[in-house]
A and B are shown apart, each in its own frame.
Chain A
């Protein structure tokens, strides 16, 4: 599906502080201005993001399905061969749905990195890990935790979250927990004493699975975008956004579930039959939790809750990537230095050249790519907003001015969330924000 061509607006100019952005979105554009430089940055970053993401989803599923409630999950980042070689359900010849061209196996750059790391030496995995020469799963877990903490997002559209509190879920979890600790009387005893604690851990494992299944789709999408850009088939920011919107709709129905494998037996904690889907139960909560909200922890800035610097309601949190400071501080939090470090290993050469020409070149590439990442996530958020508009409202070329006005009200309400001063939407309008 292509976004309709820009039409002559039949509406008076918007009076919103971000009127320019709103007019651009009404013309089928994104929040990010359409410039070749922006396009190069966002596509390059999608590619650099997709490679570690190819690991993130595998390990998230591995933790959710295999590590599960291990009380000492020391080796949870040491993914099994089975999961490393696991075929992506949306790439490769045996895909459930073949839209994108990539292979089902892990990306070659990822495989090479897993073997040699940035040291480019074949050492035992433990040594690579201790040297911090690895894919940083802490970032992925931080995203998962953000989704877990911000319960109740998009309810009632999102049915996944309320389901975690249902008796059915509790019964499923109970069965799996008991099976998991069958040979561990101490943990089994603790479960009897503190069932809620274990149940909460189980909910966390369900979110591991949720996010893993979400990113399993996103990785091939981003690879495809990078390939199309290299082939010259994506030449503008709106085209990139359209591709994402199309992807969102194409994959919207992908089932979201949580299976746990204990002693070779599968326990369906959240069965596929519940009908939870990728768009409503994973994508929308993910965007809300990670792009907008996250948490005021482990960031560049200290927040003082007693001084009222942290909102009373979690829904009012705005610490996500669209608001985050760009300076990496060495955490998985805001901004995610660990992710920046991961992406640094897989930057396409044109982006490395680009960064070397600006600011401090090699020395502050982490900051520069964090800013590019912010730009690319504004593009993804634009795609989500346009997709929601498609789903809930009217086409951009609708002849009815009332419909167009409804669209405008929708865009304005979405952009109201960026009125707060810490939002970076103002900065990304300027190419010199690096």
Chain B
């Protein structure tokens, strides 16, 4: 039941990439059809998912290379399903709007390659979320590296070569560290295979666990990214074209946080608990650093990129806090952030394509109803509100759950994180004040109109952000049981009760 999510995009990518002389429109339609099928299949999975079960569901198992311990083992649980759905949604959004961010008159170069790389990325990410074998996960984890490198390199901005190479080096190191950790876990733990279910780290001495966990943390910390492993992100996000930036922020970053929860916390629950204060400090630093850096940016895309670093900090904070509430908040934040970031990048791309600039010092008065970009600006305001955690929108639900859940464990770090949320509001108000409000400049305000079809992805994302904001159970219900079991693995039930009783006193 899960394999189609991997093979469908791969076959689609092959067809689109290899059929000779496909027109841009045909390639696009092909990608839309494939990603539409993926989304539909994801919807089927959502409908068939048993919310009451914390464990893995819809398992698929095929032996592959038994001597190496690699198996084709797939399954989903409450952690991977929401991210899988997010990936499918963002893929179809990108497939149907590959041209967003291009200037008027420009066409998407090498459309066949673009769309097939997009589908390969989708296959790689879906595979990584589904894989229940460490080496299979690693394979998918690495598979999406090359298409992303090419997507940045070919369709990127002026400094794309630099950004792509930096991305490649960082993520390759991330891969090496993760592989080393996985090999260490399996070999030192004498696991019969690399299957996730066969892994037992409890028998490892704590020092070894600590070393292996550090490797995993750095590996996924690069991908997420966490400060100080983040320096590839602003360059990659900014230099990447808008659709690729949406993919990077919406899907790739989630692979990092997924890895942190699934492999770092999942495989080393007790050691994770041991170092969780340190992790919460890293989270707080990431949040504050991301927010302060965003504050200093003049390029609005770069501002959004730095805001992403800050928001990933909330995920780590929630995961470090190890309370059921914070953990479900962390997973919700992955989804909410994916939606909000995709919307922000999409709108910034629209603004750039129509106005020709992303500089907040040049842009002004975009809310002008006649010559400006009023609806785009209005949606940008809404996305900024969602990102800043305004109640009624998805961002609030996730952040509030994280804060509520983590305050009892890490009050100071939580307060710093709340301060970071305040700063999010500050830099977004600056962004909106400079770009959307004020007076539209006469000399430059000959922007082309935004067509209705260009609004559709933004409207879909906005609707979801609204819906999850006013109906949070739709956001958290998928992962509640799974995250609870993850926490239980790290902290015995009795301790949790103690936590809760302290919380309520």
Which residues of A approach B to under 8 Å, CB–CB?
300-301, 325-328, 359-360, 363-364, 366-367, 427, 434
Contacts and interface: CB of A to CB of B under 8 A. Distances in A.
Given A364-B370, A364-B371, A367-B370, A327 B440 contact: yes
A427 B446 contact: no
B371 A367 contact: yes
Contacts of A434: 446
A434 B443 CA distance: 10
Nearest to A363: B449
A359 B439 contact: no
Given A363-B370, A366-B370, A427-B442, 19 more contacts: A300-B439, A301-B439, A325-B439, A326-B442, A327-B368, A327-B370, A327-B371, A327-B439, A327-B440, A327-B445, A328-B370, A359-B446, A360-B370, A360-B371, A360-B448, A360-B449, A364-B370, A367-B371, A434-B446
A330 to B, nearest CB: 9
A224 B271 CA distance: 91
Nearest to A358: B446
Contacts of B442: 325-327, 427
Chain A interface SS verdict (over half): loop
A52 to B, nearest CB: 20
Q: Which 10 A-B pairs have the closest CB atoms?
A: A364-B370, A360-B449, A367-B370, A364-B371, A367-B371, A301-B439, A300-B439, A359-B446, A327-B368, A366-B370
Contacts of B439: 300-301, 325, 327
Nearest to A370: B370
Contacts of B368: 327
8 contacts: A327-B370, A327-B439, A327-B442, A327-B445, A360-B370, A360-B448, A366-B370, A367-B371
A301 B439 CA distance: 7
Contacts of A363: 370, 449
Nearest to A434: B446
Interface residues of B, number: 10
B112 to A, nearest CB: 33
Contacts of A364: 370-371
B371 to A, nearest CB: 5
Contacts of A328: 370
Contacts of B445: 327
A328 B440 CA distance: 11
Contacts of B370: 327-328, 360, 363-364, 366-367
A148 to B, nearest CB: 28
Interface string B366-382: 00101100000000000
Interface in B480-503: none
> Which of B370, B442, B446, B449 gathers the greatest number of chain A CB atoms within 10 Å?
B370
A366 B371 CA distance: 10
B83 to A, nearest CB: 40
Interface in B356-404: 368, 370-371
B124 to A, nearest CB: 42
Interface in B426-475: 439-440, 442, 445-446, 448-449
Chain B interface SS verdict (over half): loop
A301 B370 CA distance: 16
B189 to A, nearest CB: 65
A359 B372 CA distance: 12
Contacts of B446: 359, 434
B277 to A, nearest CB: 51
Interface of B: 368, 370-371, 439-440, 442, 445-446, 448-449
A274 to B, nearest CB: 44
Contacts of B448: 360
A301 B368 CA distance: 12
B444 to A, nearest CB: 12
Contacts of A360: 370-371, 448-449
Nearest to A302: B439
A341 to B, nearest CB: 12
> Which of B371, B446, B448 gathers the greatest number of chain A CB atoms within 10 Å?
B371
A360 B354 CA distance: 12
Contacts of A359: 371, 446
Nearest to B446: A359
Nearest to B445: A327
A434 B448 CA distance: 13
A279 to B, nearest CB: 34
B356 to A, nearest CB: 15
B370 to A, nearest CB: 5
A366 to B, nearest CB: 6
A363 B445 CA distance: 14
> Which of B368, B442, B448, B449 gathers the greatest number of chain A CB atoms within 10 Å?
B442
Contacts of B371: 327, 359-360, 364, 367
Contacts of A326: 442
A93 B440 CA distance: 49
Contacts of B440: 327
Nearest to A330: B369
B292 to A, nearest CB: 31
B369 to A, nearest CB: 9
Contacts of A301: 439
A375 to B, nearest CB: 14
A388 to B, nearest CB: 29
Contacts of A325: 439, 442
Contacts of A427: 442
A367 B368 CA distance: 11
A367 B372 CA distance: 12
A326 B368 CA distance: 12
> Which of A301, A327, A366 gathers the greatest number of chain B CB atoms within 10 Å?
A327
Nearest to A299: B439
A364 B440 CA distance: 14
Nearest to B372: A327
B454 to A, nearest CB: 14
A427 B445 CA distance: 14
Nearest to A371: B442
A328 B448 CA distance: 18
B350 to A, nearest CB: 15
A327 B446 CA distance: 12
A427 B442 CA distance: 10
Nearest to A365: B370
A100 to B, nearest CB: 35
Contacts of B449: 360, 363
A363 B372 CA distance: 11
Nearest to B438: A301
A254 B440 CA distance: 43
A325 B368 CA distance: 13
B137 to A, nearest CB: 50
Contacts of A327: 368, 370-371, 439-440, 442, 445
A326 to B, nearest CB: 7
A95 B370 CA distance: 43
A144 to B, nearest CB: 27
Nearest to A359: B446
Contacts of A367: 370-371
Contacts of A300: 439
A143 to B, nearest CB: 23
A353 to B, nearest CB: 18
A299 to B, nearest CB: 10
A325 B438 CA distance: 14
A237 to B, nearest CB: 23
A57 B442 CA distance: 32
A190 B442 CA distance: 49
A316 B371 CA distance: 30
B468 to A, nearest CB: 33
A300 B370 CA distance: 13
A363 to B, nearest CB: 6
A366 B440 CA distance: 15
A370 B448 CA distance: 19
A360 B368 CA distance: 13
A327 to B, nearest CB: 6
Contacts of A366: 370
Nearest to B370: A364
